[in-house]
């Protein structure tokens, strides 16, 4: 059973791709298709950040280390969807017209912070392999703590681009705060021992 669980999670993680393919093929993207595609992948990026951050708390709660084996895959899916999100913005919305894009990145804080979050994901993706874990030893953990900052940046990106925080951005924010509070608790209890 658990032998196949990774494969199962892999195919489940492709869900956002199935959905968008269906919507493209059957013309279900709605009145603002470009926006729909960008938002779809943006939202799924955030969901995958939250999923990635859920594995350690789940390990603690269920007292089962099973969860940790999905963490790398979920993290890489985060990078994958973040990249599609960014590329659809750059390519589909702005047609690789870099002048307004650079302007946006520098002047608009929600784009600046979103782009920063994507840049920060790169070192995590690059150092995700087993070999890198061994090579970097203690530093690996330090580098991968970046995911907390990425999570905060990602949610801020969402809040800042929305006209109002109600309700989706607020829900994402609450879940992130809960997941981050787990870390505070975990490190505290760890330091006690």
Partner 1 sequence: MIKFKNSEITPENIYKKRRSFIKSIGLSASTLAMSAIPFVNKSLASERDKLTSYKDITTYNNYYEFGTSKSDPHRNSQIFKTTPWDITIEGEVEKPIKLSMEEISEMFISEERIYRLRCVEGWSMVIPWMGFSLSKLLSKVNPTNKAKFVEFESVYDPAQMKGQRYPVLNWPYNEGLRIDEAMHPLTTVVTGLYGKKLPNQNGAPLRIFIPWKYGFKSAKAIVKIKFVENMPTSSWMWASPREYGFYSNVNPNVDHPRWSQATERIIGEGVWAPRVKTLMFNGYGDEVASLYSGMDLKKNY
Residues of this chain that bind partner 1 (CB under 8 A): 24-25, 29-35, 37, 87-88, 91-97, 100, 103-104, 107-110, 160-161, 163-164, 166-167
| Identity of the residue, 4 or 31, whose beta carbon is nearer to partner 1 in the bound complex | 31
Question: Please, which residue, 43 or 186, has the CB nearer to partner 1?
Answer: 43
Closer Cβ to partner 1, 146 or 161, answer by number: 161
CA 18/CA 38 separation, integer angstroms: 15
Tell me how far, at minimum, the Cβ of 33 lies from partner 1, in Å: 4
Ordered DSSP codes for 25-45: HTT-S-S-HHHHHHHHHHHHH
Cα 50 to the center of its chain, rounded Å: 7
Nearer to partner 1, 59 or 104 (CB): 104
Encoding tokens for residue 42?
């943006």
Nearest residue (CB) to partner 1, 92 versus 125: 92
Long-range contacts of 171-176 (CB under 8 A, 24+ apart): 172/46, 172/50, 175/50, 176/49, 176/50, 176/53, 176/151, 176/152
Residue 42 CB, nearest approach to partner 1 (Å) = 14
Residue 95: phi and psi, rounded to 5, are 50, 35
Euclidean distance between the first and the last CA atom of the chain, given in angstroms as a whole number: 35
Q: What does the chain come to in residues?
A: 193
CB of 82 to partner 1, least distance (A): 17
154 contacts 179 by C-beta, under 8 angstroms = no
CB of 31 to partner 1, least distance (A): 4
Q: How far is the CB of 32 from partner 1 (least distance, A)?
A: 6
């Amino acid at each position: 059973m658990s032998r196949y669980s990774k494969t199962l999670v892999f195919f489940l993680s492709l869900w956002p791709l199935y959905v968008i393919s269906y919507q493209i093929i059957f013309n279900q993207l709605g009145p603002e298709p470009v926006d729909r595609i960008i938002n779809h992948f943006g939202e799924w990026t955030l969901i995958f950040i939250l999923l990635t951050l859920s594995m350690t708390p789940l390990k603690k709660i269920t007292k089962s280390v099973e969860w940790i084996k999905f963490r790398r895959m979920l993290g890489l899916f985060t990078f994958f969807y973040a990249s599609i999100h960014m590329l659809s913005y750059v390519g589909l919305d702005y047609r690789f017209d870099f002048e307004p894009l650079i302007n946006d990145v520098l002047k608009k804080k929600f784009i600046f912070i979103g782009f920063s979050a994507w840049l920060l994901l790169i070192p995590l993706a690059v150092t995700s392999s087993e070999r890198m874990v061994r090579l970097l030893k203690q530093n690996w953990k330090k580098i991968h703590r970046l995911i907390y900052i990425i999570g905060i940046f990602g949610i801020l990106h969402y809040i800042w681009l929305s006209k109002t925080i109600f309700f989706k951005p607020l829900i994402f924010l609450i879940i992130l705060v809960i997941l981050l509070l787990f870390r505070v608790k975990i490190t505290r209890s760890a330091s006690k021992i």
